[in-house]
Amino acid sequence: MRASLIQICVDPAESVAARRDRAAGLVRERTGSDLVVLPELWTTGAFAFDHFGEHAEELRGPTFLALSRAARDAGVWLHGGSIPEHDAGGRLYNTSLVFAPDGTLAASYRKIHRFGFDQGEAVLMGAGDRLVTVDLPETTLGLATCYDLRFPEQFRGLVDAGAETLVVPAGWPARRAAHWNLLARARAVENQAYVLACGTAGTHAGTEQAGRSLVVDPWGEVLAEAGTEEEILTVDFDPATVAATRDRFPALKDRRLGLAEPKEIRP
Ligand SMILES: O=C(O)CCC(=O)C(=O)O
């Protein structure tokens, strides 16, 4: 299976419309890949909180249409990264869109863990409450977005739902690049799954992006890693390695669920 991660540069000097066209063009050039992945909030920039409202779209808005056509033209599965979505009531969500090779929407996923503590996304956007997996002919994707990477229970839930390839679009900041790499590898090792982690390049809203997109195999080996600039990372991998790894080293079968609550021990 061939995956291409488009680590697009989010530069405030480029308009959202121009970046949308450019991203669609980059997807169209990926004919021959099975799966193409874009990062989190690449239209606005993940840290451009002041512009979330202005650039929010209904689910089937301009970015949806551009990506749907690009997936169909290229004949690829497309994880279109995420957009700032507004629902009918005007509530915002950080919503990922996955398209099938005929351009139809295969799945959408609203980011569950919002970043910012009491600021930014955490107060501006609503939280998703649904784990999402997507069946491709070769593998089952499990969806997560950026800050979700810090919450292993979400990934275990995805694995329990059948996920073998965990896809994580992000707008991860450069100052925590070491966490990005470590957490992506940890999620791969503990879940014995592929991790496709696609970030952005550039600096927006004063936040330098880490780039450093990576693909990790179920044994924790980094198959490919991008630099810090705009780049397309293309990797061939064998989805059957997930089952082989889980058979050879069946740690997931040793989970101890439903343990008793800790007891208070009095001296
Ligand atoms: O967890 C982090 O360090 C970065 C998270 C983040 O930037 C996000 O979710 O947008």
User: What digits encode the pLDDT tens for the residues 96-142?
Assistant: 999 999 999 999 999 999 999 999 999 999 999 999 999 999 999 99
User: Which strand ranges, in their side-by-side order, compose the sheet holding 194-198?
Assistant: 133-135, 140-143, 165-169, 194-198, 214-216, 222-225
Does residue 264 sit within a domain? no
Indicate if 198 belongs to the active site.
Answer: no
Q: Is the pLDDT reported for residue 267 higher than 80?
A: no
Atom 2, ligand 1: which residue's CA is nearest?
147
* Residue 201 Cα to ligand 1 middle (Å): 14
**Model confidence over 145-193: pLDDT tens digits?**
999 999 999 999 999 999 999 999 999 999 999 999 999 999 999 999 9
Query: For residue 192, is it left (φ>0), alpha (ψ between -120 and 50) or beta?
Result: left
Does residue 68 sit within a domain? yes
Closest among 228, 112, 124, 140 to 177, alpha carbons compared: 228
Q: Report whether residue 39 contacts ligand 1, using a CB cutoff of 6 Å.
A: no
For residue 60, the enclosing domain spans: 2-251
Does residue 261 sit within a domain? no
pLDDT at 1: 98
pLDDT at 74: 98
Does residue 88 sit within a domain? yes
pTM of the model: 0.97
Instruction: Tell me the C-alpha distance between 169 and 76, whole Å.
Output: 17
Q: Report whether residue 150 contacts ligand 1, using a CB cutoff of 6 Å.
A: yes
Does residue 257 sit within a domain? no
Crossing angle of helices 16-28 and 62-74, in 10° steps, is 20
Q: Is the pLDDT reported for residue 9 higher than 80?
A: yes
User: Residue 192 maps to which CATH number?
Assistant: 3.60.110.10
Closest among 104, 109, 106, 80 to 93, alpha carbons compared: 109
pLDDT at 261: 85
pLDDT at 216: 99
Q: Report whether residue 45 contacts ligand 1, using a CB cutoff of 6 Å.
A: no
Does residue 256 sit within a domain? no
Best mutation site among 176, 200, 204, 209 for ligand 1 pocket (most ligand atoms within 8 Å of CB): 176
Atom 7, ligand 1: which residue's CA is nearest?
172
Atom 1, ligand 1: which residue's CA is nearest?
147
Does residue 258 sit within a domain? no
Query: Could you give the number of structural domains in the chain?
Result: 1
Indicate if 40 belongs to the active site.
Answer: yes
Does residue 192 sit within a domain? yes
Indicate if 111 belongs to the active site.
Answer: yes
Tokens of 171: 């707008």
